[in-house]
Structure 1
Amino acid sequence: MADPSNPVRTCVGCRRRAPVTELLRVVVRGGGLTPDPRRRLPGRGASLHPTAECLQAAVRRRAFPRALRSSATLETGALEELVSARSS
């Protein structure tokens, strides 16, 4: 039985399911991907493990535009900075 106080989401990079507490929410703002660690920004979000491997897999598979229903090319700079800072 799932714990309703800790929902489960799927990482767009590795496609594994994990509790939201282990994943980083990402939204589109200003034409780029914006990390939403507090999970409070408005709009459709995608979940990602905050690791370089999952980020690279998501970019390679073009998972962000599909998950966020965006037809535009999305800038990943802010997201890459956050992930590299967390892994260092």
Structure 2
Amino acid sequence: MSGRTRDRVCPERTCVGCRERSDKRDLLRVVWVEGRCVPDLRGTLPGRGAYLHPTPVCLEQAVRRRAFNRAFRGPGPFDTAELFQRVRQIEQETP
């Protein structure tokens, strides 16, 4: 290449709550750990992941639609208390 840097394309994922596609970096990865939906802030936890906009609206839609049951291929119900707490914390931190 002649001195130019290539633009990197950010992969897209679909939010399990609102079903809209967004850049992966704009979504929160959620993994299933021993019956709990755990936020994967660094994106390094092992296992199957589901992606979610870090907003209470999308999280509530995902729970209501049982999207985590489909994403994690399990019967549920999944404990989402830790996830709700983290989403509220993220919402307070954003300007």
Fold shared by both chains (TM-score > 0.5): yes
For residue 72 of structure 1, report the CA deviation from its aligned partner: 2.7
RMSD: 1.3
Aligned to 1:81: 85
What SS does the corresponding residue of 1:43 show, helix, strand or coil? coil
Please tell me whether residue 15 in structure 1 is matched to residue 27 in structure 2. no
Larger Rg computed on CA atoms: 2
What SS does the corresponding residue of 1:33 show, helix, strand or coil? strand
Please tell me whether residue 50 in structure 1 is matched to residue 54 in structure 2. yes
Question: Which of 15, 34, 44 pairs up with 2:38?
Answer: 34
> Percent identity among equivalent residues?
51
Question: Which of 61, 70, 86 pairs up with 2:65?
Answer: 61
Question: Structure 1 segments of 4 or more deviating over 3 A?
Answer: none
Please tell me whether residue 71 in structure 1 is matched to residue 75 in structure 2. yes
5+ residue gaps, structure 1, are: none
Compute the TM-score of the two structures, normalised by the length of structure 1: 0.92
| Segment of structure 1 superposing worse, 11-20 or 68-77 | 68-77
**RCO higher in 1 or 2 (8 Å CA, sep ≥ 6)?**
1
Q: Distance in 2 between matches of 1:4 and 1:74?
A: 36
5+ residue gaps, structure 2, are: 1-6
AA paired with 1:11? Answer: C
State the number of aligned residues.
86
For residue 30 of structure 1, report the CA deviation from its aligned partner: 1.7
